[in-house]
Structure formats: structure tokens, C-alpha cells
Amino acid sequence: MNPSEEFLRHAADCQRMAKFTRDPASKQTWSRMAERWVRCAEVFKRQRAAAKPAKRFRPDAAHMHY
């Protein structure tokens, strides 16, 4: 499981806790924690995409003329 998927799993756990708790303050805390886990997943995805090297065009050897 990659970190982004794990972060989203934690977010889902927090959302479930928010849904089932009766205390309004706890509900708000769990909801905020879920939002933060989702943001962590988004940040990880953006950073991972930015860290990938750009693909460079490389012609096939068959199409090269010497």
C-alpha cells in the first residue's frame, strides 16, 4: 500500500469515528483529523508527481538516419 492510500484509509477511519461519536466536540475533532489525512494524501501525490523526471522524447533507433 502506498502512503497516499494509507493516508486515505486513516481519513476513512476518522470519518467513521466522527459519524458514530455523539459528542459534538469529538465529532468536530474526528472530522478535522479526516480532512488533514486527506490533505496529506493530496500533498504526497503532488510531491510524488513533481519528483518524477520528465519523460524526454527519444526517437527510435529504427527511425534514425545516419
What is the model's pLDDT at position 1? 77
Higher pLDDT, 55 or 29: 29
Q: How do residues 7-26 score in pLDDT, each as one tens digit?
A: 999 999 999 999 999 999 99
The set of residues, in sequence order, having a beta carbon less than 8 Å from that of 15 and lying 6+ positions away, is 30, 31, 34
- Distance between CA 2 and CA 10 in Å, rounded? 13
Burial 5-30 (b: 16+ CB within 10 A, else e): eebbebbeebbebbeeeeeeeeeeeb
What is the model's pLDDT at position 42? 97
Higher pLDDT, 33 or 48: 33
